[in-house]
Every structure is written in structure tokens, then in C-alpha cells.
């Protein structure tokens, strides 16, 4: 399975608002993965994200240490196709809102949530804290928020430079980045800023692999067909590896 960035976009506003929306250039691909990062300032509040049809699944909500800037990933594992507007709605009006949208098309089985982690701090080294990603193929994303005039640079995931970054839509001092991976890892989404009060959210999605029932049926067929001659080679781990190689 491989993940490829499709459409992406961002929007930001400095006025108090109940919604923030972005309509990326290009149509969404049905069945793709959509990941949306949302930032706001002022007191904490509940955020919902939708595409006009489906309400997305929220990730972990993270505030900075002064509790006046906040961020959260939302995602849809099997997107609705077509010309879509992605809208973040806040339970109470909030200032300095931002929304980032990433679409990833992929080959192979369905995408599933792999890992997520969040953290806050005051140093020049932004970090989500370690994510324990278990997938052999996936995409990891980082989202950064803070309340002063700072943008990130040197964005990475697990110590490797990001594949792409969107920074500070509307001047709202936030950014989001992504990186594909081809093996399990334990690492963080990171970036560099001037010292400030920040928060960072990391999230990763992986290939779900072939359905367990299909895998077991195929494994049993191989064992019956070849008999005991190759019994030691036809274990579930080896067959999973073979399936993944066929799907990439």
C-alpha cells in the first residue's frame, strides 16, 4: 500500500467566528483518507469537522501550557468524492482560527488509525511526543499551534524531513506537515521555532492489510495444496509479508 498526497488546502481568520472552511482546488477522490488539522485561540471549546455530508472522527485535543491556544486532528478514513468544502465548527466563537486539509489517495487495503500523540512546551523544539506506529506502510502528520508570532521550520517525522508543509494560513501562527513511512517506527512530529508557548499534535494512519478471514482462508488453501512439504514457510507472518509486497 502506498499513500500519495492528493488535494490540500488551508484557511485562516483573525475575527471571532463559529466556523472556518476551506475548499481545496480539485475534487476529493472517493474512498481516500482525509486528515484535517484545526487551530483556535482563547478558551478551550469543542470542535467538529465535516464535509457537508459526514462528520469526521476527532483525534486528541491539545492545548498549550497557558491554555489559550489549541489544536486537534480530525479524519475521515473513506472520503466522499467530489467538490467538497471542509468546515470546522466551534461550540463557541473563537479568535485566530485555522484549518488545514490533506487528502491521501492510496493503493491496497483501507487506511486505519495507527498512532497519535500530543504534547506542549516552551522551548524552540516543537514535538508531538513519540508515536508508536506499527504499520509497514502509512502516512504520519504533525500539527503545530501557538499564540505569538512564530512559524515552524525544519519540520520532520521520526527525524526525517517532511514530504510537505503548509504554514500559518491567515497569519495565525500554525502549521501542518506530513511524511509517508514504509516500516514501523517510534518517533515524533517535530519542528523548530523561536522559543514560545506551543502545542503539537501527531497522528499516523496505516494500511489495514488484507482482511483476516481472507488471509486465513488463503493460508489454509496453501497448506492443503502443498501439503506438508512447505509447511514451515506458510505461516501467517510470511503470508502477510507476501500480501503487502503484492499491494505496493
Q: What is the pLDDT of residues 72-105, one digit of tens each?
A: 999 999 999 999 999 999 999 999 999 999 999 8
Query: Quick check: 188 and 131 in contact, CB under 8 A?
Result: yes
**Residue found under cell 481472507:** 214
Both 179 and 221 in one domain: the answer is: no
Confidence at 150, pLDDT banded by 50, 70, 90: confident
Amino acid 11: pLDDT: 86
This prediction has a pTM of 0.84
Both 115 and 234 in one domain: the answer is: no
Nearest to 41 by CA among 193, 173, 201, 166: 173
The helix (run of H) or strand (run of E) holding residue 241 is helix 236-247
Q: What are the grid coordinates assigned to 222, written together?
A: 496453501
Amino acid 241: pLDDT: 62
Angle at 156 between CA 154 and CA 162, to 5 degrees: 95
Both 133 and 226 in one domain: the answer is: no
Both 60 and 140 in one domain: the answer is: yes
List the beta bridge partners of residue 179: 140
Using DSSP's 3-state secondary structure scheme, residue 247 falls into helix
List the beta bridge partners of residue 48: 89
Using DSSP's 3-state secondary structure scheme, residue 170 falls into helix
Q: What is the pLDDT of residues 28-81, one digit of tens each?
A: 999 999 999 999 999 999 999 999 999 999 999 999 999 999 999 999 999 999
Quote the domain boundaries for residue 227. 212-247
Amino acid at each position: 500500500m502506498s499513500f500519495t498526497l492528493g488535494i490540500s488546502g488551508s484557511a485562516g481568520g483573525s475575527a471571532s467566528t463559529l466556523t472556518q472552511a476551506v475548499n481545496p482546488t480539485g475534487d476529493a477522490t472517493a474512498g481516500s483518507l482525509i486528515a484535517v488539522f484545526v487551530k483556535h485561540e482563547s478558551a478551550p471549546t469543542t470542535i467538529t469537522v465535516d464535509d457537508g455530508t459526514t462528520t469526521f472522527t476527532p483525534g486528541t485535543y491539545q492545548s498549550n501550557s497557558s491554555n489559550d491556544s489549541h489544536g486537534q486532528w480530525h479524519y475521515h478514513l473513506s472520503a466522499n468524492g467530489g467538490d467538497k468544502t471542509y468546515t470546522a465548527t466551534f461550540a463557541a466563537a473563537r479568535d485566530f482560527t485555522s484549518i488545514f486539509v490533506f487528502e491521501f489517495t492510496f493503493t491496497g487495503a483501507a487506511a486505519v488509525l495507527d498512532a497519535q500523540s500530543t504534547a506542549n512546551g516552551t522551548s524552540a523544539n516543537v514535538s508531538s511526543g513519540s508515536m508508536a506506529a506499527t504499520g509497514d506502510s502509512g502516512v504520519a502528520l504533525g500539527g503545530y499551534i501557538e499564540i505569538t508570532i512564530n512559524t515552524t521550520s525544519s519540520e520532520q517525522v521520526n527525524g526525517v524531513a517532511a514530504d510537505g508543509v503548509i504554514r500559518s494560513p491567515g497569519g495565525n501562527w500554525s502549521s501542518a506537515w506530513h511524511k509517508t513511512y514504509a516500516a514501523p517506527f517510534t518517533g515524533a512530529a517535530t519542528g523548530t521555532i523561536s522559543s514560545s508557548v506551543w502545542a503539537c499534535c501527531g497522528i499516523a494512519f496505516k494500511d489495514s492489510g488484507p482482511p483476516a478471514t481472507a488471509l486465513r482462508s488463503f493460508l489454509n488453501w496453501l497448506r492443503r495444496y502443498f501439503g506438508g512439504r512447505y509447511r514451515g514457510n506458510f505461516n501467517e507472518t510470511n503470508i502477510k509479508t507476501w500480501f503487502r509486497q503484492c499491494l505496493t
